[in-house]
Amino acid sequence: MAEHEEMMQSPGFKDRKARLVVFGILQIILGSICVLIVPLMVFGMIAAHKNAAEDVNARAMIPGVLFYVLLAVWFIWMGIGSIKARRWARALILVSSWLWLVCGALGFVFMLRVIPNMYDKMGENGQIPKAAIIGVKCGIMAIMAVFYIIIPGLLVLFYSGRNVKATCEYRDPKVRWTDKCPLPVLGMSFISAGWAISMFWMGIYKWTIPFFGSFLSGIPGAIVILILALLLIYTAYGTYKLDMKAWWCALLVIVGWSLSTIITFSRVNIQTYYDKMGFSGQQLESMKQYGTMLGSNMNLFLGFWAVALIAYLIYIRRYFTGTQDRLRR
């Protein structure tokens, strides 16, 4: 035992097992919160489904339920891995937290442009008392800052630590599958896999997809979505294997998708998109109030994402050398 303590406290290596346990417990708590949200959303779906006029509302909640189920599984799984100081858990948490932080920061900036005007409009319509508008906006933005930036930022800061990495490698000496791919490339693989999964959710919205100036839905939309999903699945697997063809595929998909969506939302009103997706009644009317506001920022947001993803692809290009000797953390 004394020898173990001496090794763990050797110069340049401090044992972070206790902190790994703490962060693991925090992630299990986040997963538990997601678990609690799921039945609330399911009850909402059941209540909405009882009203035939609001059946679309029930269907629209399905992606949200699936999202929180996946989040619950992910956080609890990663939390257990962190408590056990598994090197695969550290790698996956670090990659997902970086993606969470970047997506959250971009989303936060986007919402800074949308939320103030949205709630001001609600105040003008009498939906929210004008006196409460400032408090509501500040509260919403504070909550978003915590979940979009602060939490993922803390996870990135902790799990990227040299001592955390050394602790996991010492306590879990076996080479894991996450060690066979550079973490930045693993991040691209994650993006592609998540994107592919989200494509199938579009079936809930009549397979509606923007396509170079118009919206496809039904069978034509399903065919395009299936092709895109297959390309993304290939990209996810191929980038993990450091296959250069997968890198080019990822670049073509990102450029093609970005041009398609930007061209479409430049020519067609976003309200048409909602109508094609099957929204109707009160929900469509509510969207109409804020559709112009969202639509005016949509292309800016999409352009931002396209530039960020292409820059990311260019950054990880150096890892696609055909050998595994440049694996770094």
The pLDDT of residue 286 is 57
Q: Is residue 104 part of a domain?
A: no
Confirm if 187 and 235 have CB atoms less than 8 A apart: no
Mean pLDDT of the chain: 82
Separation of alpha carbons 233 and 227, rounded Å = 10
The pLDDT of residue 283 is 59
> How does pLDDT run across 275-316, given as a tens digit for each residue?
777 766 555 555 555 555 555 567 777 888 889 899 999 999
| 256: β partners | none
Q: Is residue 304 part of a domain?
A: yes
pTM: 0.81
The angle that helices 62-83 and 17-50 make with each other, rounded to 10 degrees, is 160
- Residue 14: pLDDT band (50, 70, 90) is confident
Q: Is residue 252 part of a domain?
A: yes
Q: Is residue 306 part of a domain?
A: yes
- Residue 130: pLDDT band (50, 70, 90) is low
Q: Which residue has the higher pLDDT, 155 or 132?
A: 155
Q: Show Cβ contacts of residue 310 under 8 Å, excluding neighbours closer than 6 positions.
A: 251, 254, 255
Handedness of CA 252, 253, 255, 260 (dihedral sign): positive
Q: Which residue has the higher pLDDT, 289 or 59?
A: 59
Q: Show Cβ contacts of residue 68 under 8 Å, excluding neighbours closer than 6 positions.
A: 34, 35, 37, 38, 41
- Residue 119: pLDDT band (50, 70, 90) is low
The pLDDT of residue 325 is 45
Containing structural domain, residue 290: 181-329
Q: Is residue 8 part of a domain?
A: no
- Residue 186: pLDDT band (50, 70, 90) is very high
The pLDDT of residue 139 is 81
Q: Is residue 2 part of a domain?
A: no
- Residue 128: pLDDT band (50, 70, 90) is low
The token pair that represents 177 in the structure block: 């599958």
The token pair that represents 96 in the structure block: 């997902």
| 209: β partners | 216
Q: Is residue 23 part of a domain?
A: no
Q: Which of 78-92, 132-146, 294-308 has the highest mean pLDDT?
A: 78-92
The pLDDT of residue 177 is 93
Q: Which residue has the higher pLDDT, 148 or 329?
A: 148
Tally of structural domains, the chain: 1
Q: Is residue 10 part of a domain?
A: no
Residue 28 half-sphere exposure toward CB, CA atoms < 13 A = 12
Total residue length of the chain: 329
